[in-house]
Chain A
Amino acid sequence: MPDNKKAAIDYVWNAISFPEAALLGKRVPKKQFLESGELVASDKKLFRENVKNVYWEYTLKPSTCPVLPYRDNEREYLEVAVLQVEMNSQKGHKRIAEIIHRIIPYPLMIGFYVGTTEHTEYTEKESINSVSSVSSVVNKSFALSIAPKRFSQTEQGAYVAERFYTTGWMHSGAFNDREAAFVASLAWDNMPLQTYGTLYNAWTDRFTGYECSVLSGSFTIGKAGDRLEQLTRCREIESRISELRGQLKKAAFNRQVELNTQIKKFEQELRQLAASL
C-alpha cells in the first residue's frame, strides 16, 4: 500500500538514482517547521493544512556517497539533504517550498507528491470513475524544488536563498518531451560529482533549463547565469500582463483598448524572449 501511494515520487527518485547508501527515509516532525517562529500566520495555515508529512529521504554527504564538500567565501556545500513532502493536495507547493528552503539553512532538493489515503476506495474502479481518474492524475504527479543559498552579508552565520526553483506538477505517466528531458537530465550518473558545489550548480543549470522550457517549449541545458536575466525579464512581463488583465474589467472602453495594446505588445516581447531562451 505505501508503495502504491508514493508511486509518483518514487518514480522520480528512481529516475535520478541517488546512491543507495544515501537512503535515510526519516520522518521530520511538522512541528519543527511550525514552531520555527519565522512563519507568518498565512504560511503557518498553509503548511499545517496542506503538508501531511515531511521525510528526510536521502542524505548526501561524504560518508554516504563519495563526493567532496565545497566551501568558498560566498557559500558552502558540505552536504545536501533530499526531502520529500507528502501533501494533501497540489495547492501552494511553491510557497511551501520557499518556506522549507528558508527554514532549513542547508542545500536541499525537495520532492512533492500528494498522498492518496482519501481516495483509496476508488482505486479498483479507477478507469470508470471520473473522480478517481482525476485523483489518480494527482496521485501520479510530483514537483521538485531547489534553492541555491549563500552566506548572508549582514548577519553572521545566516543564509540567504538567492532564488527559488520550483517546478510545476508533472504527471509521471504522461510527461511531455521537455519534462521527460528535464527528469532524465538529473540522473545521478551524468552529474559532475567533483564536489557538492559542482553538483548543486549542475542542478541549478537544469532547473533553469526547466523554467526556460516552460516558456520556450523545449528543454536544453545552458549556463544558468546567462539565461537567468532573460528568465527574470520573462517573469516580470508575465506579472505585468496579469496586472494589466486585472485592470481590464473595470476600465472604460478607451482604457481597455490601451490595455489590450500593452498586453499584446508584452506578449510579443515574451514570445521573442522565449524563442531565444
Chain B
Amino acid sequence: MEKMDGKTMDIVAENVGKLKELFPEAFTEGKVDFEALKEVLGTFVDDRDERYSFTWNGKSKARMIAQTPSTGALRPCKDESVDWDTTQNIFIEGDNLEVLKLLQKSYHKKVKMIYIDPPYNTGHDFVYKDNFKDNIKNYKEITGQVDGEGRNLSNNPETSGRYHTDWLNMMYPRLKLARNLLKDNGVIFISIDDTEVSNLRKISDEVFGEENFVAELVWKRRVSSAMADNNVSADHDYVICFQKGDLKDFKGFQKDFKRYSNPDNDPRGPWILDNLTVGMNASMRPNQAYDLVDPATGNVYPFNPNRVWAFIPESMDRMIKEGRIVFPKDTSKRPMQKRFRDELKSTHNPFSTLMMDRVGLNTEATRNIQELMGGNVFDYSKPLSLLTTLIPQVCNGNDVILDFFAGSSVTAHAAMKLNAEESGNRKFIMVQLPEACDEKSEAYKAGYKTISEIGKERIRRAAAKIKAENPEYQGDLGFKVFKLDSTNIKPWEVDFDMTERTLEDFISNIKTDRREEDVLYEVLLKYGLDLTLPITEHTIAGQKVFDIGMGALIICLSDAISLEVVEGIAKLKDELNPEIMRVVFKDSGFKDDVVKTNAVQILKQAGIIDVRSL
C-alpha cells in the first residue's frame, strides 16, 4: 500500500524539472552547474554590477516565500455555505498567500481571469508582513485567532520608512503564485492608483513578462474634488492588465448599426457614408494626391494636400465603377465612400482603455453596497459595472474567475449577475482575509466582525436579488466556504522536537479536533483535485465512505475499517463502474495488519489496484 506524501506542489522541483528538460547539459549529478548553464546561454548572461533591474530590500526573500510549500489546509464550512452539494463557486477565508499555495496543484492553469483590488498602500490600508518561517501561525496571530506578540498590524504608514518595500514584498510572491493558476490564454486585471502604479507595472513586467502587457485601463472614480492639495484633482485609478501569453483578443463591443440605412435600395444592403481620405500628406503619398473626377458629371474635386485620397487612382476607378463613391453636387464638398454593414471586417468596436461611459464612479459602488447591504458597510469597493464590463471581455460562459483580494466580493456578484443575464456558467473563487472591521465602522455596528463576513453576506444578498429579478433562473447562485487552517495531519507538520508528542500522537496521525471532512478536503488538495468535484457520502457497514468524482476516488477515514467496509467498496465499484478507481484509507484505521493485508487482496480481486493510506 503506497503512502501518500503530504506536500503541496513543490514549485522549486517543478522549476528544476523544466530547466532540466531545456538544458540537460547544465546538470551534473542532479545539481545545476551554473558555469555550464552560463555557457549554454552564451552572451545572454548579464552579470555586470550595473545593469537594468528593479530591486528592493527583501526581494529574494519574497521570491523564496512564493516557493516554500504551504503547510496549511482548507477546512470546509458547510454552515456558512449556500447550496453546498451542487455549487461550483468557492469562497475561501484566509491569507491569500497560503491559499494561493494550496490551490497551486488543484487549479494549475485552470483560471481564465484574475481580478484583484489589492491595498493601494495609501498609508491607511492593511498591509501585513508575511512570516516566511511559519506563515500559518503568523496568519492566525494576525487575525487574532492565536495570541501573538502584539505587532502593529493595522496599516503601513508612510512613516515606517519601508513604505514601498513592504507593499512590494507583499505583492510580489502573490503575483508569482497567481500566474501559475492562469490558463495559457488567461488574463489578470489589477486595480491600483498613483501610489504604486509604477511599482506594480515593474513587478508585473517581471512576473508576467513585459511582452505580455495588455493595457493600463483608466477608471474614472469621481468628479473633480475641490479639496485637491495643489489644485490638481486625481480623479482616476488604473486597472493594469497582463496576459499569461496566449490571449487572442478582448471581445470588444458589438457595433451599433443604427446609423446604417439603405435609402437607394443598394443590393449590398445598409450602408453609411465614410471619409474617403487618409491622414497622410501629398509628399508621403504622391500616388494618392490627384484631382478626382466624377465620370458621370465631369465635376473635378481637387485633393487636399494634407489629407490625400484613401486609394490610388486604379483602385479609385474600380470603386467608382462599383458605385461605392458618392459625389456631392457642390465640388467644394468632399466625395464620400459607401461603407456596407455586410462588408465590415469586424462587427465589434475595440475596447477603449478609457472606460468612461461604461463604468460608473465610486458613487455607484457606494450605492451598490448601500442598496444591497442596507448601509455603508464597505468603503472603496469597486462599482459592479467595472466588473460586468471587464469579465465579458475575456471570459466565456464556463470560465473560472479568481479574486484573491475579494473585499466585498464585487467580482462574485458581477459573475453571478452576468451568468443570470446571459445564462452563462462562469465560476468564481473568492479569497479574503478575515481582517477585523474597525470597531467604529458602520460595518462593525451592523454586526460584521470581519471583512470576509461582509464578502460572504454580499454574495448571499446578491444571489437573492438576482433570483428575485429572474425567478426563472436555475443557475448556480451558491458558494462553498472554506477556511484556512493548519494541516489536519500530524506528520506533515515538520517538527524535530519530539518531546512534546504524546502517546496518542503515535496512535492516530489526524489531529483530534478535526473532522473527517476536513481531512477529506486536505486529501483533495494534495492530490490536486478540484474542490467542487461531486462528492457522495455512502454509509457502508456503519462507516462513512466518500466517493469523489463519481467513483474515481474512494476515501474512507474511519478508525474501524472492517472487511465488510472493504467488501462494500468493492461492490461500489461494480455499481458506479468508474473508468479508474483509487481507494484511500487512514493508515491507523485498520484493526491490525491482517485486516490491512486482506483488504488489499479483496480490492485486488475486485480489480482495484490503486490502494493508498495516509
Q: A260-B550, A260-B551, A264-B550 are in contact. Are A254 and B534 (CB under 8 A)?
A: no
B106 at the interface (CB under 8 A from A): yes
Is B580 touching A261 in the complex (CB atoms < 8 A)?
no
Q: Which residues of B contact A253 (CB under 8 A)?
A: 527-528, 582
Separation of A263 and B576 alpha carbons in the complex (Å)? 12
CB of B579 within 8 A of CB of A259, answer yes
Closest to B110 in A: A258
Residue pair A264, B578 in contact (C-beta under 8 Å) = yes
Q: Mark A233-277, 1 if CB is under 8 A from B, else 0.
A: 000000000000100100011101111110111000000000000
| Closest B residue by C-beta to A248 | B579
Distance A252 CA – B527 CA, assembled complex (angstroms)? 10
Q: List B66-104 residues whose CB lies under 8 Å from chain A.
A: none
Please measure, in the bound complex, the distance between the C-alpha atom of A74 and the C-alpha atom of B580, giving whole angstroms. Answer: 50
Chain B residues contacting A256 (CB-CB under 8 Å) are: 552, 579-580
A263, B534: Cα distance in complex, Å: 13
Classify the secondary structure of B's interface with A. Answer: loop
- Residues facing A in B314-350 (CB within 8 A) are none
Within 8 Å CB of A261, what residues of B?
533-534, 549-550, 552
- Contact indicator B579/A260 (Cβ below 8 Å): yes
Q: Output the least CB separation between B524 and chain A (Å).
A: 9
- B458 CB within 8 Å of chain A: no
**Chain A interface residue number, banded:** 10 to 19
Chain A nearest CB from B177 CB (Å) reads 18
In the docked arrangement, what's the CA distance between A261 and B580, Å?
10
- Please tell me which one of the listed residues B105, B551, B578 contacts residue A254 in the complex, with CB atoms under 8 A apart: B105
Task: Kindly state the separation between the CA atoms of A263 and B580 in the bound complex, as whole angstroms.
Answer: 11
User: B553 to A257, Cβ gap below 8 A?
Assistant: yes
B-side contacts of A263, CB under 8 Å: 579
Chain A binding surface, main DSSP class: helix
Kindly supply a per-residue 1/0 record for chain A positions 124-147, scoring 1 wherever the CB is within 8 Å of any chain B CB and 0 otherwise. 000000000000000000000000
Query: Chain A: which residue is nearest B578 at the CB level?
Result: A260
A59 to B534, CA, bound (A): 58
List A17-57 residues whose CB lies under 8 Å from chain B: none
CB-based contact B580/A260 at 8 Å: yes
Residues of A with C-beta under 8 A to B550: 260-261, 264-265
Least CB separation from A245: chain B residue: B579
Report if B235 contacts A (CB, 8 A).
no
Which A residues are CB-close (under 8 A) to B578?
260, 264
CB closest chain-A residue, reference B530? A258
- Bound together, the chains give a CA A70 to CA B99 distance in angstroms of 70
* Residue from A254, A260, A265 in contact with B527 in the complex, judged by beta carbons closer than 8 Å: A254
A257-B105 in contact (CB<8A): no
Give min CB distance, B400 to chain A, whole Å: 13
Which residue of chain B has its CB nearest to the CB of A244? B579
Bound CA span A256–B530, Å: 12
Task: Tell me, yes or no, whether B207 is within 8 Å of chain A by CB.
Answer: no
| Residues in A whose Cβ lies below 8 Å from that of B576 | 264
B579 partner residues in chain A, CB cutoff 8 A: 245, 248, 256, 259-260, 263
Query: A254 to B530, alpha carbons, bound, how many Å?
Result: 8
Give complex CA distance A265, B548 in Å. 13
B529 contacts the other chain (CB 8 A): yes
Residues of A within 8 A of B549 (CB): 257-258, 260-261
Q: Mark B495-537, 1 if CB is under 8 A from A, else 0.
A: 0000000000000000000000000000000011110011000
List, sorted by A's number, 20 A–B pairs whose CB atoms are closer than 8 Å. A245-B579, A248-B580, A253-B528, A257-B548, A257-B549, A257-B552, A258-B529, A258-B530, A258-B549, A259-B579, A260-B549, A260-B550, A260-B551, A260-B578, A261-B534, A261-B550, A261-B552, A263-B579, A264-B576, A265-B550
7 smallest CB-CB distances across A and B, nearest first, come from: A264-B550, A254-B528, A260-B552, A257-B549, A257-B552, A261-B549, A260-B579
Q: Which residues of A contact B (CB under 8 A)?
A: 245, 248, 252-254, 256-261, 263-265
State the B residues within 8 Å of A (CB): 105-106, 527-530, 533-534, 548-553, 576, 578-580, 582
